[in-house]
Amino acid sequence: MRGSSLLAGLTCVGVLTATNALAAPRVGAAQVAPSVSEQMLAQSLFDEARQLMDRGKYADACPKLAESQRLDPGGGTLLNLAICHEKEGRFGSAHLEMKAAASQAVKEGRKDREKLANERLAALASRVPRLAVHVDREEPDLEVKVDGTLLRKPAWDLLTVVDPGEHVVEASAPNKAPFRQTITLAEGEQRTVHVPALQVGDGRSTASAAPGTSTPGGARPETRTNPLFVASIATGVTGFVVGIPAGYVWTMTTLLKSTCRPERESVFCPSDGARTAWFTAAVVGLSVGVLGTIGIAAFPRKIQVAPTASASAAGATVLGEF
């Protein structure tokens, strides 16, 4: 069986954002029992979703589980939906659903489900991204939204569970230029987006690349390959191509020095001056190669240049992508 009814409003369809978490359904609200046809459809969706999960097709399975949960909410379906979202990489959704599934398992006395949910919750703890919004200056009738959902004042500055990926923070107020910033959160990352004091404007959005700055004229950020990263690759390759062979030759000449005679000078029986040259080439080449390798690790592969403007100056914000 799929499990008994709980949290009828918790379908978890779509991406769970910071504001979705604040709008969790109320336990104990009046529920309408599903019809027989809804129960049968829910069971069919559940069975199909389980087969898809067994084949690793989580993107296809999760919506079917969500619809099954909507039609006939149950602890077993909710637990499977959480597992499906975890496998899909939607760790924020999985975390919230897993907590609800653990609570449902306690109410049903299902120790097996409770144990499984709590184990997966512990594993998810370090993987869940969290997002907070800080408002630098509150405006009359200010509206702050995260991914299109209104974020009210009690939820400002609260680190809230979200899914990895792209999120959009917006703020608007009457007779003020609206604010909009898009950020991408990685697994386990925590970020706070600062909403700056809104400026008097004509209603056109000012997308921010960094706190207190805005993109003028709607200019889009430009992503380009970092020349320092390319130079580091070229430096590292050149250094090792020169240094490794030179080091090999110097090592061989040093080992064979005792067998060399002046009349038998060759690549591996050179003069002392030639051996010194090979040694110098090896040291310099390997040093350059190491520096290039450090540069590859230190410099971002790509950089994003976004023109910015504030009340006092204009410039550009440069962001790196490693």
**What pLDDT, on the 0 to 100 scale, is given for residue 137?**
92
C-alpha 322 chain-centroid distance: 13
153, 170, 204, 219, 311 from 179: Cα distances, Å = 17, 5, 9, 14, 14
pLDDT in tens, 289-322: 788 788 777 767 776 665 554 444 455 555 655 5
Alpha carbons within 13 A on the beta-carbon side of 79: 24
Query: What angle, rounded to 10 degrees, do the helices at 75-88 and 36-54 form?
Result: 30
Cα maximum dimension of the chain: 103
Q: Which two tokens mark 255?
A: 């080992």
Residue 144: pLDDT band with limits 50, 70, 90: very high
Q: What average pLDDT does range 202-217 have in this prediction?
A: 48
The tens digit of pLDDT for each residue in 56-93 reads 999 999 999 999 999 999 999 999 999 999 999 999 99
